[in-house]
Amino acid sequence: MMDTIPTRFEVLDERFAGVAGDDVVERLHFGTRWAEGPVYFPAGRFLVWSDIPNDRMLRWDELTGAVGPFRQPAGYVNGNTLDGQGRLVSCEQGNRRVTRTEHDGSVTVIADRWRGRRLNSPNDAVVRSDGSVWFTDPSYGITSDYEGVRAEPEIDGCHVYRADPVTGRVEIVADDFERPNGLAFSLDESRLYVADTRRRHLRVFDVDAGGKLSGGAVLAETEDGKPDGLRLDDAGRIWAAVGQAVHCHAPDGTLIGRLHLPDHVANLVFGGPKRNRLFIAASTSLYSLMLNVTGARPVWA
């Protein structure tokens, strides 16, 4: 029998009052040490996610419910996403690089250095419609051997980067974070949202046509937990992994609701044929529930 828990929404603002879904949250898998980076492959109807300390990636099949290995060792992968061609983009904390898995299974390095210096430990990534890859680079993967390989940093600070799709050039786009983590573009890609885990807040930047950032104001404080992964729905609301809940913020930053869970939530993604199934990676488990909310349209759609 499928392991389930009662769904517990908390409505904090009338803008969240209409959000609903399954009466129960399904636990699709139990047995990870630190679940992260869920990414849904619509062409294959399956989901891949990371188990960082065990240095592996797992695969859940939507049609059969079966869970099996996807890749091990995996370079202590944290965040994952898809690019415009449906290829897997992964942040390898242990190998200190961002990679792309080609359709034939080969791996291409997107970024591993900035001005000749090794990155800290890329954490999460998002691909813009122009093909540029944006990623955060905190130091979690080099501070110990638990979720990476202990090493000395070669770059002064933890920054947000952009990898150019044509030249491959890697540049810093924001350098005033303590621990940048999850990131997501607004629906029209004119804004970039970034979580700073240590400072417990979400920030918002304006993005110009050339990929330069400006602004960077604090959009929302997350006093009840440290923010991690971010995703948007097709109404522009921001869904964030914070403590033992998924927070939902209105585009203006107001916290309008929460979905409570029994584990520490790390990341999430909308998937399923209609993008209305929310998958949640939370410490030991992978959770899922169907919503009356649809995730933002991906860049390849």
What tens digit of pLDDT does each residue of 61-83 get? Answer: 999 999 999 999 999 999 999 99
Dihedral sign from CA coordinates of 288, 293, 299, 300 = positive
For the chain, what is the mean pLDDT? 97
CA nearest to 267, candidates 83, 35, 108, 53? 35
- State the pLDDT at residue 298: 83
**Residues 19-71 pLDDT 10s:** 999 999 999 999 999 999 999 999 999 999 999 999 999 999 999 999 999 99
- Convert 113-151 to b/e letters by CB count within 10 Å (16 or more is b): ebeeebbbbbbbbbbbeeebbbbbbbbbbbeeeebbeeb
Residues in the chain: 301
- The answer to whether the CB of 35 falls within 8 A of the CB of 286 is yes
| Sites in the chain below the pLDDT cut of 50 | 1
Residue 29: per-residue pLDDT: 97
pLDDT over 90 for what percent of the chain?
97
Asked if 57 and 50 count as a contact pair (C-beta separation under 8 A), the reply is yes
* pTM for this prediction: 0.97
**Alpha-carbon span 254 to 269, nearest angstrom:** 21
Query: What is residue 1's predicted lDDT score, i.e. its pLDDT?
Result: 43
